[in-house]
Each structure stands twice: as C-alpha cells, then as structure tokens.
Amino acid sequence: MELSTLSSKGQMTIPVELRRELELHAGDRLNCFVEDDKLVIIPAKGSLKNLKGVVKKPSKPVSIEDMNAAVLDEAKERMLKI
C-alpha cells in the first residue's frame, strides 16, 4: 500500500511505483468512483475486460416490465412537477 496526500486543490500524486506498475503516464485518464466507502481509481485505457466487476450485479433480476414501469413512474413524477 502506498500513501498519497491530497492537495488544497483536491489533487493527489500517484506514487511512482504504482504509475510504473500500471504503466500510467502524464495525460492518461482515470475513472474514479466510490464503492463501499472506498475511492476506486481505474485507468481508462485498455480492454473492456478491465472493467469487469466495476458495476455490481443486482441482488435480484429485474424484468423488462419492471424497468418499463419504473421509467413510466419517473416520467409521470416529472410531468407533475411541470
């Protein structure tokens, strides 16, 4: 585990050992998100296989009918606000 410090501008430096290991270079883009109260940073390069596991599977399958009903409910809510 490597330690990095957050600057007053909200920036951090990725330690050189990690940059080498991940082959990161100036200008590379990084995907950042929070998962289970942890900051996760993934290089935005390479194969789509690198994204496996980024989005968790739902606890139960959702049917097309349920999805359509949820979209319709949201649309109705938004129309009531207009």
pTM: 0.50
Domain contains 6: no
**Which DSSP helix (H) or strand (E) runs through 50?**
none
The continuous run of DSSP H or E covering 20 comes out as: helix 16-22
Domain of residue 67 covers 16-81
1-22 pLDDT, tens digit per residue, is 888 999 999 999 999 999 999 8
Q: Is residue 40 a part of any domain in this protein? A: yes
Residue 5 lies in a domain: no
65 lies in some domain: yes
Total domains, the chain: 1
Q: List the CATH number of the domain containing 76.
A: 2.10.260
Q: Look at residue 51 in the predicted model and tell me its pLDDT.
A: 72
The residue to which tokens 């942890």 are assigned: 38
User: CA–CA distance from 31 to each of 18, 41, 43, 75, 79 (Å)?
Assistant: 16, 6, 6, 30, 34
**Which residue in the block uniquely carries the two structure tokens 């994204």?**
51
Displacement of CA 80 from its chain's centroid (Å):
32
